[in-house]
């Protein structure tokens, strides 16, 4: 998936070099295990993401943000823009498949995957001062259908 996303970034006009990825130490109490920063690339918190599987998931999540930033010139200060990319990253990265697997057999709730994405979107938006108060939830709900159903660059959610 990382290779595929790198190819798609290249096609979209934003080639990804090896130096795009960096392992960094992240201070405690951070919600995220990684970050994407325009012009800088993808950072992975090496003190939080230790297993290869975790590192892969963080990189895939952040590459979806990078892809969105490349194709849509996202305004990260706009809570709805940020929410849209978090919905897509949460949905398409498989962040929530893993949890669903774990929960399979314990919980048979319909929509478990979507609930997981919603929770993670809210966690990510809590770090954005432009999403304060009810803005985070309102923004997420406003863009949910469009962004959850937008699976580019995949034909459908992997």
Tell me if 89 contacts Zn ion by CB under 5 A: yes
Give 110's Cβ-side CA count (13 Å radius): 0
Identify whether 141 is a catalytic site residue: no
Please identify, using beta-carbon distances, which residue of 6 and 82 lies nearer to Zn ion: 82
Q: Which stretch binds Zn ion (CB under 5 A): 10-18, 99-107, 119-127, 145-153?
A: 119-127
Toward Zn ion, which CB reaches closer, 89 or 140?
89
**Which of 6/84 has CB closer to Zn ion?**
84
Residue of the chain from 33, 49, 124, 139 that contacts Zn ion (CB under 5 A): 124
Q: Which stretch binds Zn ion (CB under 5 A): 67-75, 99-107, 123-131, 149-157?
A: 123-131
Q: Do the Cβ atoms of 109 and 143 come closer than 8 Å?
A: no
Report, in Å, the least distance between residue 25 CB and Zn ion.
Answer: 19
Candidate ranges 3-11, 44-52, 83-91, 93-101; the one touching Zn ion (CB under 5 A): 83-91
Nearest to 5 by CA among 58, 62, 71, 63: 63
Bridge partners for 23 per DSSP: 44
The answer to whether 27 and 89 have CB atoms below 8 angstroms apart is no
| Residue 73 exposed, middle or buried by CB count within 10 Å (0-12, 13-18, 19+) | exposed
Give the active site residues.
62
């Amino acid at each position: 998936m990382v290779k595929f996303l790198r190819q798609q970034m290249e096609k979209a006009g934003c080639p990804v070099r090896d130096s795009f990825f960096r392992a960094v130490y992240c201070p405690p109490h951070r919600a995220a295990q990684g970050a994407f920063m325009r012009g800088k690339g993808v950072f992975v918190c090496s003190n939080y993401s230790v297993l290869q599987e975790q590192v892969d998931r963080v990189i895939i999540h952040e590459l979806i943000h990078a892809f969105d930033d490349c194709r849509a010139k996202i305004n990260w200060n706009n809570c709805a823009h940020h929410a849209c990319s978090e919905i897509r990253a949460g949905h398409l990265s498989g962040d929530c498949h893993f949890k669903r697997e774990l929960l399979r057999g314990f919980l048979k709730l319909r929509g478990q995957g979507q609930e997981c994405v919603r929770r993670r979107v809210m966690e990510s938006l809590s770090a954005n001062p432009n999403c304060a108060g009810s803005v985070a939830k309102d923004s997420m709900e406003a863009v949910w259908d469009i962004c959850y159903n937008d699976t580019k660059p995949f034909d459908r959610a992997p």
